[in-house]
Amino acid sequence: MSIDGDTDIDPEAYVERVREERHRKEEFFTQHPRSPIPESDRAEFSGLNYFDPDPAYRFEATLHEHDDPERITVETTQDGAREYDNVGEFRIRVDAEDVTVQAYRSPGDEYRLWVPFRDGTNGEWTYPAGRYLDLEDPDDRTDDGDWVLDFNEAYNPYCAYSEAYECPLVPADNWLDVEIPAGETLPDE
């Protein structure tokens, strides 16, 4: 298995790194003034929930760029809309199934990819409206130039934690027919 372009890394070290990143995020949610958890709710906030880290849901993949990226309008949770450019797609294999995931960019952003998705876990184990991956160039690239799609880093949009946020909904092209039991799960009620 290759993790961050290094074929000799120990999967146990990878799992530990994922857990450390989750701990830092939890501290942000419980302590930071910009946390999506309303300050009045933080005392009762029991923490973020996750699937166990699983290196099988970390992929190194080529971004197959579209020749003419299409500008799309994405509806939001509060009846608004945002525009994104559909710049390309990742082709990966999840549990013996071929999966294509579209990658989007905000107009004018040359470095970040937004990979929202819905999968077979939504509603039962994960946020019903879907989850997100954010990829940043060059941080989420291997030495070979592939992108790292690590679904262990999949997160709920802030609107899962507070109605004060307006979140873009997952475009239908990224409604996946497979389950991806990795990343954040449903928040506690």
Domain ranges (residues) in the chain: 11-174
DSSP state of 145: S
Question: CB count, 10 Å around CB of 43?
Answer: 7
Structure tokens of 153?
């880093």
* pLDDT per position as a tens digit, 77-131: 999 999 999 999 999 999 999 999 999 999 999 999 999 999 999 999 999 999 9
With 0.85 as the threshold, say if the pTM is over it. Answer: yes
Give dist(CA 168, CA 35) in Å, integer: 18
Give dist(CA 92, CA 57) in Å, integer: 10
* pLDDT per position as a tens digit, 142-179: 988 999 999 999 999 999 999 999 999 999 999 999 99
